[in-house]
Structure 1
Amino acid sequence: MGVFSRFMDIVNANINALLDKAEDPEKMIKLMMQEMEDTLIELKSACAAKIATKTKLDRNRNEVEALLERWKKRAELALERNREDLAREALLEKRKAATNFDQLVEDIARYEEIIKKSKDDISKLEEKLQSLRNKYQAIVERATRIREQQAASETMRKATDHEAFSRFDKMEQQVDRMEAQAGMSKSGADTVESRFADLEEMEAIEAELEALRKEAKGSKQ
């Protein structure tokens, strides 16, 4: 397929419709961008070749224009010297140069149109390529956001997983049992301590009571 045919296919393509049908829009855009970039390189190369040809035609036209002037002056010189034969030959050469000059002017005008169209085509393709690059960037950013959201959802799913909560419940129950056991041990220790305290208090009361008895007996005597 020629560069012009590829260019027309690309320019006339409905990118949005193609992307809607694509299974992998990101991959599709990358392929399309590569195709556009390759076509753009070929268009610019072809345009540069046309510009080079026109430059050569311009140079030839200037040379022929100078030749026209030279044959005109020669014809005038021949007439001044009464050499009509040479004047006729000079005018004949001048006419040939004029024909060549007219053809060069026509070719230059044609190449100017071709170059103008080539530059317009390049501008259109560059605009389309930039639009595609913008779409690609938007798709990449969108895909990145989706992947981040999926990762966050997966993290949340794991965090709220029933099995995870079950493990936490078991750990909590184990801690509750340990606290209960510690409380029972402390309660048992407090009971023994209180019994000894009661016993000691009773002993003190008995001693005080015995002292009062002795005091009462002494006062009776």
Structure 2
Amino acid sequence: MEQAVADMQGDLVKVRQSYAEITATQRRLMKQKEQAEELAEDWKKRAQLALEKGNEELAREALSRRQQQVDSADSTQSQISSQKENIDNLYVSMQELESRILEAKSKKDEMVARARTAQSTQKVNDMLTGVTGKTSMDAFSRMEEKVDMLEAAAEVSSEMGSTPLLKGSSRGVEDEFKLLEAGSAVDDELEKMKNLLAPSSGPKGPKEVDDELEQMKKDAGL
């Protein structure tokens, strides 16, 4: 686009130069025509003066010179008329070229502005777009939802910690079963020790006593 505008501006400079040169030539021809017409008028007056003085030969010469100037003026007028059409066409072309340059500049400025706007929009979108393709605003929304859930869970936990357990609740039942299981284990151990200490049907030998002692140590965790 920049090069196209530069080329048209270069063409416009050339057209203006040509227009200036042709216009200058046209003005010079018009001045020559005016001079020829003035000389023709002067020779006409001289011819009249010569006739008044009775010098017909001199009057004839004056009229001959007048005709030369008239012919020169007519020839110059033909050149002026011929160049006038060229000047008019060149002027129209120059105006059209100027209009095209202005239009091209306007389009160029518009395209530059659109390109800058597109680049700015793309940068903003890139900043808002995450790696997964979702916008950062979506990520913030998901984070906010998680925070809300954590806050709600913390609030429920706090309420449960400050409220006494009701009888028959799931936590109370578990605690009661643990107490029962612990008591049952103690009772079983006590019963086992009673059985070991109770007299058997016959006297025990040293080996049996040693075995029972080892068993008691194991049961006691020694």
Shorter-chain TM range is 0.5 to 0.7
Q: How does 1:131-142 map to 2 (within 5 A)?
A: 131-142=103-114
Higher relative contact order (CA 8 A, sep 6+): 1
Task: Give unpaired runs (5+ residues) of structure 1.
Answer: 1-28, 184-221
1:109 paired to 2:78: no
Q: Which has the larger radius of gyration?
A: 2
TM-score computed with the length of structure 2 as normaliser:
0.59
1:144 paired to 2:120: no
- CA offsets, 1:40-63, max 9 Å, x none? 111111111111111111111111
**Distance across 2 between alignment mates of 1:97 and 1:63:** 9
Counterpart in the other structure of 1:124: 96
Partner amino acid, structure 2, of 1:65: E
Counterpart in the other structure of 1:55: 27
- The 3-state SS of whatever aligns with 1:49 is helix
The alpha-carbon deviation at position 65 of structure 1 amounts to: 0.7
The alpha-carbon deviation at position 122 of structure 1 amounts to: 0.7
**Distance across 2 between alignment mates of 1:68 and 1:96:** 8
Partner amino acid, structure 2, of 1:60: Q
Q: How does 1:1-221 map to 2 (within 5 A)?
A: 29-158=1-130, 160=135
- The 3-state SS of whatever aligns with 1:82 is coil
- CA offsets, 1:66-85, max 9 Å, x none? 10001101111111111111
Task: Give unpaired runs (5+ residues) of structure 2.
Answer: 159-222
**Distance across 2 between alignment mates of 1:143 and 1:160:** 23
Corresponding pairs, count: 162
Partner amino acid, structure 2, of 1:54: Q
**Distance across 2 between alignment mates of 1:42 and 1:36:** 10
**Distance across 2 between alignment mates of 1:124 and 1:160:** 50
Partner amino acid, structure 2, of 1:133: K
The alpha-carbon deviation at position 160 of structure 1 amounts to: 4.9
TM-score computed with the length of structure 1 as normaliser:
0.59
Root-mean-square deviation (CA, aligned residues, Å) is 3.7
Higher helix share: 1
**Poorly superposed stretches of 4+, deviation over 6 Å:** none
